[in-house]
Amino acid sequence: MQKTPDKEWDQIWVGANIATMAAGAGPYGSIENAALAVKGERIAWIGPAEEGRSVAAAQNLPVQDARGLWMTPGLIDCHTHLVYGGNRVEEFEKRLCGVSYEAIARAGGGIQSTVQATRTASREQLHASAAVRAKRLMSEGVTTIEVKSGYGLELAAERRMLEVARDLAAELPVSVKKTFLGLHALPREFAADRQDFVAQVSGPWLESLAAAGLVDAVDAFCENIAFSLPETERLLQAAAQLGLPAHVHAGQLTDMGAAELAAKWGALSADHLEYLSAAGAHSLAAAGTVAVLLPAAYFTLRQTTPPPVGLLREAGAALAIATDCNPGSSPCTSILLALNMACTLFGLTPEEALSGVTRQAARALGALDDIGTLEVGKRADVAFWRIERPAELCYGMGANPCVDVLYRGALRAH
């Protein structure tokens, strides 16, 4: 049990069950009938309800009754493409009405249509549509969102996407991690010279965006329909020289060895991983690179080969879960649905899934020191749930038992 602090607390919640999600602290790091105290933006104390009550009384601090609730860390969506122009509803409908992928692509569909819509969207349009999606995530207890660029694919448009991501966090009570996904797709104007594009992205574009404070990490879509291992490595190398961490889209459609490359460069995460060898899983584990699984994309694309969860477990890799929110392969703004799908489609246990949007998602963002578990000293980002056991967060489809969210120690307005 932690000692009571010298300084007074600002707020205390008493009587909830707390899923701290701390490592090695038993299932869900649970403490029943507990109390959590906050000082400023930080968690000041966690302990038994009775002790919390008596210390609060000694401090003349009013106690907030949380009986009947569970508290968890604020959820973390560690892989999204939240900022984009337009949508792909028309394409979704055409496909279901029998129009082929090829015909859609010829008509300017697919990712290039989102690039076009993003380039032509105003900053206000990008911001407003992303804010709607961010609020949906936030309504389910999300307090940190990773947001990738990658639909601009020209410097000004990539910058605008990252600025919009930054501004979301200024407007809304949510943290945003900004990822420069320079190598997402080859824009048409570089069709004849992909090496020049990779050089621009890894050189002046990255330097310019990083200098503006817009890059928390880089990312590349390493896949046979996107960028090769050497192309991806060029960006990873450039990021390393600037001291920036990396994510890698790896093994979504084929096993090219992208996971091994991510591990080689000490990437924070390798994401998707439907196609991954035992060697790849071991290299992720050895490097501490988090395996980020994206079940809503797997679902939407009607994939049939799930990520090798057994191999990843055996290797001891960390597993995270995210929505992959994007207009094409995962128009998903529900992190609880991603939890359900991780269990149902990939066979994760509810505890693994919930760890995947708390502790392991924090690790995937390089932020585990600050967020991801409920422990003294960490940011007071807390979700309150009207549930009877933590697995309920994975079980329901369409339910939202989130009743309150504390962000940096302050209750969000409803």
Tell which one of 172, 300, 403, 412 touches its own copies (CB under 8 A): 300
Token readout for 300 is 């939407």
CB of 91 to its own copies, least distance (A): 9
Q: Is 195 exposed, middle or buried (0-12, 13-18, 19+ CB in 10 A)?
A: exposed
Residues 348-367 that bind its own copies (CB under 8 A): 348-350
Contact 67, 15 (CB under 8 A): yes
CA 88/CA 69 separation, integer angstroms: 39
Residues 103-162 that bind its own copies (CB under 8 A): 133, 136, 140
The window from 71-79, 85-93, 314-322, 369-377 that contacts its own copies (CB under 8 A) reads 85-93
Q: Which is nearer to its own copies, 49 or 297 (CB)?
A: 297
CB of 92 to its own copies, least distance (A): 5
The window from 121-129, 216-224, 325-333, 365-373 that contacts its own copies (CB under 8 A) reads 325-333
Q: Does 330 bind its own copies (CB under 8 A)?
A: yes
* One-letter amino acid for residue 208 of the chain: S
Question: Tokens 């069950």 correspond to what residue?
Answer: 17
Tell which one of 40, 228, 344, 370 touches its own copies (CB under 8 A): 344
* One-letter amino acid for residue 145 of the chain: I
Q: Which is nearer to its own copies, 296 or 374 (CB)?
A: 296
Q: Which is nearer to its own copies, 190 or 299 (CB)?
A: 299
The window from 7-15, 154-162, 170-178, 341-349 that contacts its own copies (CB under 8 A) reads 341-349
CB of 7 to its own copies, least distance (A): 39
Token readout for 119 is 């380039």
The window from 10-18, 183-191, 200-208, 337-345 that contacts its own copies (CB under 8 A) reads 337-345
198 SS3 class? helix
Residues 366-405 that bind its own copies (CB under 8 A): 388-389, 391-392, 394-400
The window from 198-206, 231-239, 249-257, 347-355 that contacts its own copies (CB under 8 A) reads 347-355
Beta sheet of 319-321, edge-to-edge order: 75-77, 142-148, 175-183, 217-222, 246-250, 269-272, 290-293, 319-321
The values of phi and psi at residue 75, to 5°, are: -75, 155
Nearest of 309, 291, 179 to residue 239 by alpha carbon = 179
CA 31 from centroid of its chain's CA atoms: 26
Nearest of 216, 176, 186, 102 to residue 325 by alpha carbon = 176
CB of 213 to its own copies, least distance (A): 31
174 SS3 class? coil
Tell which one of 215, 296, 374, 406 touches its own copies (CB under 8 A): 296
CA 316 from centroid of its chain's CA atoms: 21
Q: Does 413 bind its own copies (CB under 8 A)?
A: no
328, containing H or E segment: none
The values of phi and psi at residue 218, to 5°, are: -110, 170
Q: Does 33 bind its own copies (CB under 8 A)?
A: no
Q: Does 414 bind its own copies (CB under 8 A)?
A: no
Interacting residue ranges for its own copies, rule: CB under 8 A:
87-90, 92-93, 96-97, 133, 136, 140, 296, 299-300, 302, 323, 330-334, 336-337, 343-345, 347-350, 388-389, 391-392, 394-400
